[in-house]
Amino acid sequence: MLQMSWLIPLFPLLSFILLVVFRKSSNENTAWIGVLLTGASFVLSFGAWLAVWQGDGIKVEGTWFQLGERAITMGYEVNPLNALMLVIVSLVSLLVHLYSKGYMHGDERFSVFFAYLGLFSFAMLGLVLSPNLLQLYMFWELVGLGSFLLIGFYYFKPEAKAAAKKAFVMTRIGDVGLFIGMVLLFWQVGSFEYDEIFSAIKNGELSQSMLTLTAICIFVGAIGKSGQLPLHTWLPDAMEGPTPVSALIHAATMVAAGVYLVAAMYPLFQASETALTVVAVVGGVTAIFAASIGLMQKDIKRVLAYSTVSQLGYMMLALGASGYVAGIFHLTTHAFFKALLFLAAGSVIHAVHTQNIEEMGGLWKKLNITGPLFLIGALAISGIPLLSGFFSKDEILMSTYADGKYGLFWIAVIAAFMTAFYMFRLFFLVFTGKPRGSQKGVHESPSVMTLPMIVLGVLAVVAGYLNTPWFGTFLTDYLSQGPVELLHADHHGPVWIPFVATAVALLGIGLAYMIYQKGSVSRDWLTRTFPGLSHVIYNKWFVDEGYDRTVVKGTTGLSWLGVWFDKYVIEGLVAGVVSGVQALSRLGSEMQNGQVQSYGTFAIFGLVLLLLIAALSGGYFS
């Protein structure tokens, strides 16, 4: 099975090629091309995962091109970490393909949409299979392309155009960090291979400052892709893309690639305490920062987007706090429950044709499948016991505490409270109470959409049992087969942590219930109590505005300065030379005016000049 794993990304690529050829077809059965080929990828991925579970693995490489003495290689590798990623990516991609058949029904560019999904899936699976940093970087950029194309799928909308561009550019800022880190490592180690890099680190071939520098550069790439502070602003805007895209790319897979990158390069990070701290702090601060914005957003998808940013922050926090397993565990569970939440949100949008939660309400009865599934997702992300999010979040809190990062621990606890609050604010506003907008003809989505949601719903409940203190630490055992030495394999934080986590989650849900369901606390209680703060939060901490006034304006200003310089200084110099030459030639032509008198004068002048030189230089000319 493992020998065939190189086929995993090629199936979606084939789907992309076929669908580009059939892009004009109005027959919506073209979707099945995508579904079947992604299904094939999933089957192979699952097989690969089972093989790895039994202790198997594979790495195949060949020379891509020769650079002097060094061969730059390409190939594929299956190890515990990426086998798990393969399953997550191909499964979510498969479900999203299926869901999209219903969601995109009737769209003019139906087949093109599936083609782009195929391209993205190809790139994402290729990224995960890469055995070296260069190959990862290439696919890293290609997933960015897939994301760009799908965010800009409704290309005629100015917002979609702006969002697509912003996503590409902001992630590219991060990519440059990754690029620098990768190249620096190459000149230190002489290879892009993970294995070579890790063994060089182990043998102490790199200085401590170089380790820290390269780790942080690579982390900058992860910041861009995973929407961490300060490069997070593209991710909420990316919600301009069709909702299935948000579920696949901007919740479950691509944005998690940053976390995957840190995990895949973990030995590098482990070698530098500073780098780990940077990862943890960025993650922790992002977690609470994004959660705070999520409290006040009115667009259902934007709430979920900020929630994604926040949850990715949790994963980074875990990795930074030596909680390698916890980070990956949360990545896994989050992929399921967040994809579920997005698909459910898509189902709601599909029904009511608005994304504004103030125009929803009372949908529980009408959407009797979507509603309960959304509730499962919300409970899971809030960290209610027995659901998947509880276990993974618990592990993150445990690792953070065990690592002695108490400040970040409490930040994470507060963020958990906020998470529970904004999720249930969303739930109550959307599904309970009285309908606030016109809800004529609202009906449940077709089964092609609900079926993928049900699968994800089941996974959102059970995925937590991959790693529990009660039933066994399967994930920990599984991941410890990989190249990463799990230093704190068992984080035994204090026993009170799960109780605190559960308590804050219940508190958040309770508060949301009081405000948005029962109405016993006024809705503008928060805005009235903290007017200044809530104004800032409502405006997303003015980050976009800040960037606009500094970076964007500064760059444009520099550009104008350059244009001015080009026009006046450079062209001016040229004009000066030209007019100088012209003046000289005019002088020359004026001398030739046909008057013998002036010729005589010039001749005399010339003679005087020559004599003068002869006299001064002592009569010697040459």
Partner 1 sequence: MSTWLLSILIFSPMLGVLVLAFVPSHDEKSIKWLGILGTLFPLGTALITLSAFDMSSDKLQLAETYRWISYEVFQSKGEVSYPIFYEVGVNGLSMVLILLTAVVSVLAAVASFSIKKNWKSYFILFFLLEMGMLGVFAAQNLFLFFIFFEITLIPMFFLIGRWGYVEREKAAYSFLIYNGVGSAILLIAFVSMFMKTGTMNFEKLTETFSLPQEELNAVFITDGYMMGMLIALLIAFAVKLPVVPLHSWMVSVHVQAPPAIVMIHSGILLKIGAYGLITFGAGMFPEEFRSLAFVIGLFGVINLLYGAFLALTQTDVKRVLAYSSVSHMGIVLIGLAALNEAGITGAVFQVVSHGLISALLFFLVGALYERAGTSELNDLGGLAKRMPILAGVLLAGGLASLGLPGMSGFISEFMAFLGLFEKMPILAAVGTLGLILTAVYVLRAVLAITFGTEKEQHETYTDLTSAERVPAFVLLAAIMFIGIYPAWLSDMLRPALDVILLGLGG
- Residue 560 binds partner 1 (CB under 8 A): yes
On whether the CB atoms of residues 6 and 76 are closer than 8 A, the answer is yes
Distances (CA, A) of 438 to 103, 298, 426, 441: 21, 17, 19, 9
Applying CB under 8 A, which of residues 61, 141, 444, 544 lies at the interface with partner 1?
141
Instruction: Give the residue from 366, 368, 382, 365 showing the smallest Cα distance to 426.
Output: 382
Site string for partner 1, 75-114 (x = CB under 8 A): ----------------------------------------
C-beta of 302: minimal distance to partner 1 in Å?
22
DSSP string, 526-581: HHHHSHHHHHHHHTGGGHHHHHIIIIIHHHHHHHHHHHHIIIIIIHHHHHHHHHHH
C-beta of 424: minimal distance to partner 1 in Å?
38
CB within 8 A of 174, min separation 6: which ones? 220, 221, 222, 223, 224, 225, 231, 258
Distances (CA, A) of 553 to 533, 545, 559: 26, 11, 10
Of 53-61, 137-145, 340-348, 431-439, the window that binds partner 1 (rule: CB under 8 A) is: 137-145
- Residue 156 binds partner 1 (CB under 8 A): yes
Instruction: Spell out a b/e string for 119-144, using b for 16 or more CB atoms within 10 Å of the CB, else e.
Output: bbbbbbbbbbbbbbbbbbbebbbbbb
How many angstroms separate the CA atoms of 502 and 215, rounded?
35
Q: Where in 174-213 is the site for partner 1 (CB under 8 A)?
A: 175-176, 179-180, 183-184, 186-187
- Residue 39 binds partner 1 (CB under 8 A): no
Query: Toward partner 1, which CB reaches closer, 234 or 336?
Result: 234
Instruction: Spell out a b/e string for 549-571, using b for 16 or more CB atoms within 10 Å of the CB, else e.
Output: eeeeeeeeeeeeeeeeeeeeeee
C-beta of 552: minimal distance to partner 1 in Å?
10
Query: Toward partner 1, which CB reaches closer, 570 or 612?
Result: 570
- Residue 622 binds partner 1 (CB under 8 A): no
On whether the CB atoms of residues 318 and 396 are closer than 8 A, the answer is yes
Of 133-141, 293-301, 347-355, 594-602, the window that binds partner 1 (rule: CB under 8 A) is: 133-141
Which residue type sits at 278? V
- Residue 544 binds partner 1 (CB under 8 A): no
Q: How many CB atoms lie within 10 A of CB 463?
A: 25
As a whole number of Å, the end-to-end CA separation of the chain is: 89
- Residue 173 binds partner 1 (CB under 8 A): yes
C-beta of 121: minimal distance to partner 1 in Å?
16
C-beta of 156: minimal distance to partner 1 in Å?
5
Applying CB under 8 A, which of residues 10, 145, 349, 503 lies at the interface with partner 1?
145
Query: Toward partner 1, which CB reaches closer, 499 or 565?
Result: 565
C-beta of 183: minimal distance to partner 1 in Å?
5
C-beta of 157: minimal distance to partner 1 in Å?
8
Q: Where in 46-75 is the site for partner 1 (CB under 8 A)?
A: 63-68
Structure tokens belonging to residue 480: 């410890």
Which residues contact partner 1 (rule: CB under 8 A)?
23, 63-68, 134, 137-139, 141-142, 145, 152, 155-156, 158, 160-161, 164-165, 168-169, 172-173, 175-176, 179-180, 183-184, 186-187, 555-556, 558-560, 562-563, 566, 570-571, 573-574
